[in-house]
């Protein structure tokens, strides 16, 4: 899967001042007062930019500002289309938002529609609407990996709740490019007849939180969380289903026990007391699938803070204290081999302090060899780990740490086993393993996998501060 982290540090968009209300104790509004509204114009690009529309490339994120143009040769209808020349790998990407100074009322529409084609079959990494600097992308909608063919076809991106969109400026955005060698790039995209429509054909809305899963996890007083996996799925006129990522402000959230935790319209959960609560949501009065049960039983204990070290003396895999090397995954799910381990990605975020949580642990690998460079730890002497076991530890329990060098190519590996006596229930324990103790690890210049193995003797652990040092 390809993704781009888009940064929009400076998008200066003019806003319309609809009305100024002055209230005094002597003068109240009558029932006849009519407040100003914005034009219900759904056009984005119909042969030309709609009123007030402008192009803002994601230059700070590495987008090519010259990748966009207006094409009068290749069109679906009328006289012009939008053209994007997607660079080859290593030359940036196509990324931009199209915003208007003429604020729109889009509450009468149910979808953004457009016609598109490409010079080769492709999938657009991210595309949608609602990126607005002045609102913090409050009503952003994203479609991932939208498949585009080589002929003009119509595409539909549903609005999760049109009633929310009565003063919008972010009308269209996309991000597409090659994220690794051999990925699709060096081709052209065209868009035409981009507009918001009242299709009247969208059916069977199925919103979800946490990607529809019922999740139960510990919570901790004063350690806030943010709800993730927010989507809306609808059925299109052709019978296909489409799922979009919807910003939290489209949802109405509730907490079964507000004394324990509350959740705001941005999906931010504030935990204030011990106890249990269930977070649920609805979208346009349709109950969302998925829920979050928080069991708040203890104050949270963070892992020890690593000592300050010179950057050349550390190779960090996962630590907030150092700059981490690129990682393919924190949970390479080895399905044919019977792996049951859940978690790892994304890491838990406790007010900016990230921690890996593995549950149902039998074995799990952290990979650095597929799309990123293997770790050259040949000049390092020690591997550091912080581990906290979140359950009772029995005498036969263990966690085995394994390093594999040159995965699949004359590989070698070594292991160190932590027995029950080395671990503590509900306590962080710091380990510093001399790399020379990983017997069998003939070379450590291409470390591609770090495994945690418990054979299901221990199933729930926190891991933090994984780094090599000398």
The verdict on 217 and 355 lying in the same domain is no
Residue 36 lies in a domain: no
Does residue 281 have a pLDDT over 90? yes
Domain end call among 275, 298, 321: 298
The total of other beta-carbon atoms located within 10 Å of residue 288's CB is: 23
Residue 259 structural domain: 203-298
Residue 372 lies in a domain: yes
* CATH code of the domain covering residue 422: 2.60.120.430
> Going by DSSP bridges, is the β-strand pair 225-226/268-271 parallel, antiparallel, or unpaired?
antiparallel
Reported confidence tier of residue 17, pLDDT bands at 50, 70, 90: very low
Residue 331, pLDDT score:
86
What is the rounded distance in angstroms from the CA atom of residue 168 to the CA atom of residue 218?
Answer: 38
Peptide bond preceding 346 in cis form (omega within 30 of 0): yes
DSSP letters spanning 274-338: SEEEEEEEEETTEEPB-EEEEEEEE---PPPPPPP--GGGEEEEE-SSSPBPP-SBS----GGGT
The verdict on 212 and 279 lying in the same domain is yes
Domain end call among 160, 179, 197: 197
Reported confidence tier of residue 423, pLDDT bands at 50, 70, 90: very high
The total of other beta-carbon atoms located within 10 Å of residue 58's CB is: 26
Closest of 341, 285, 321, 332 to residue 163, by C-alpha? 285
Does residue 28 have a pLDDT over 80? no
343: left (phi over 0), alpha (psi -120 to 50) or beta: left
Contact 438, 415 (CB under 8 A): yes
Residue 354 lies in a domain: yes
Residue 10, pLDDT score:
29
Residue 403 lies in a domain: yes
Number of domain units in the chain? 3
Which residue has 């350690």 as its token pair? 223
Q: CB burial class (10 A; 0-12, 13-18, 19+) of residue 264? A: exposed
Residue 400 lies in a domain: yes
Residue 383 lies in a domain: yes
Furthest-apart CA atoms within the chain: distance in Å: 86
The verdict on 440 and 346 lying in the same domain is yes
The verdict on 176 and 293 lying in the same domain is no
What is the rounded distance in angstroms from the CA atom of residue 253 to the CA atom of residue 281?
Answer: 4
Report the chain's mean pLDDT, rounded to a whole number. Answer: 88
Residue 22 lies in a domain: no
Residue 305 lies in a domain: no
pTM of the full structure: 0.67
The verdict on 188 and 213 lying in the same domain is no
The verdict on 133 and 247 lying in the same domain is no
The verdict on 182 and 128 lying in the same domain is yes
Reported confidence tier of residue 334, pLDDT bands at 50, 70, 90: low
Reported confidence tier of residue 337, pLDDT bands at 50, 70, 90: low
Q: Provide φ and ψ at 44, rounded to 5°.
A: -115, -60
SS3 242: strand
The total of other beta-carbon atoms located within 10 Å of residue 455's CB is: 13
The verdict on 77 and 192 lying in the same domain is yes
Q: What is the mean pLDDT of the segment spanning 72-79? A: 97
Q: What is the mean pLDDT of the segment spanning 324-350? A: 79
The verdict on 135 and 155 lying in the same domain is yes
Q: Provide φ and ψ at 212, rounded to 5°.
A: 85, 5
Domain end call among 276, 298, 320: 298
The verdict on 131 and 253 lying in the same domain is no
Contact 121, 150 (CB under 8 A): yes
């Amino acid at each position: 899967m390809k993704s781009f982290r888009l940064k929009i540090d400076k998008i200066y968009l003019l806003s319309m001042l609809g009305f100024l209300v002055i209230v005094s104790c002597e003068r109240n509004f009558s029932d006849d007062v009519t407040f100003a509204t914005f034009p219900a114009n759904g056009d984005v690009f119909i042969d030309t930019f709609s009123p007030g529309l402008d192009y803002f490339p994601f230059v700070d994120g590495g987008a090519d500002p010259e990748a966009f143009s207006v094409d009068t040769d290749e069109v679906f209808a009328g006289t012009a289309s939008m053209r994007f020349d997607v660079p080859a790998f290593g030359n940036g990407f196509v990324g931009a938002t199209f915003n208007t100074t003429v604020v729109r009322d889009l509450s009468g529409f149910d979808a953004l529609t457009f016609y598109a084609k490409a010079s080769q079959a492709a999938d657009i990494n991210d595309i949608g609407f609602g990126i607005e600097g002045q609102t913090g992308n409050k009503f952003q909608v994203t479609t991932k990996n939208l498949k585009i063919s080589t002929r003009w076809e119509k595409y539909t991106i549903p609005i999760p709740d049109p009633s929310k969109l009565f003063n919008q400026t972010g009308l269209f955005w996309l991000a597409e490019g090659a994220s690794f060698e051999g990925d699709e790039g060096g081709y052209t995209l065209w868009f035409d007849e981009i507009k918001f429509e009242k299709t009247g054909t969208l059916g069977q809305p199925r919103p979800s939180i946490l990607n529809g899963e019922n999740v139960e996890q510990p919570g901790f007083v004063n350690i806030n969380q943010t709800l993730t996996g927010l989507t809306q799925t609808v059925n299109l006129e052709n019978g296909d289903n489409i799922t979009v990522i919807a910003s939290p402000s489209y949802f109405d959230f509730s907490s079964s026990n507000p004394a324990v935790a509350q959740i705001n319209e941005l999906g931010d959960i504030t935990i204030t007391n011990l106890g249990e609560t269930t977070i649920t949501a609805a979208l346009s009065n349709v109950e969302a699938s998925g829920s979050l049960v928080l069991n708040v039983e203890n104050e949270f204990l963070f892992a020890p803070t690593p000592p300050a070290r010179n950057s050349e003396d550390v190779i960090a895999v996962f630590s907030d204290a150092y700059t981490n090397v690129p990682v393919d995954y924190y949970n390479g799910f080895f399905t044919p081999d019977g792996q049951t381990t859940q978690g790892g990605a994304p890491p838990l975020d406790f007010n900016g302090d990230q921690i890996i949580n593995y549950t149902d642990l039998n074995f799990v690998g952290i990979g650095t060899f597929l799309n990123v460079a293997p770790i050259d730890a040949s000049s390092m002497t020690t591997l550091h780990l912080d581990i906290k076991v979140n359950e009772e530890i029995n005498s036969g329990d263990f966690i085995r740490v394994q390093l594999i060098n040159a995965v699949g190519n004359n590989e070698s590996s070594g292991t160190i086993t932590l027995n029950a006596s080395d671990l503590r229930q509900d306590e962080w324990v710091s380990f510093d393993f001399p790399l020379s103790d990983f017997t069998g690890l003939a070379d450590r210049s291409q470390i591609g996998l770090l495994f945690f193995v418990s054979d299901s003797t221990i199933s729930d652990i926190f891991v933090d501060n994984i780094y090599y040092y000398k």
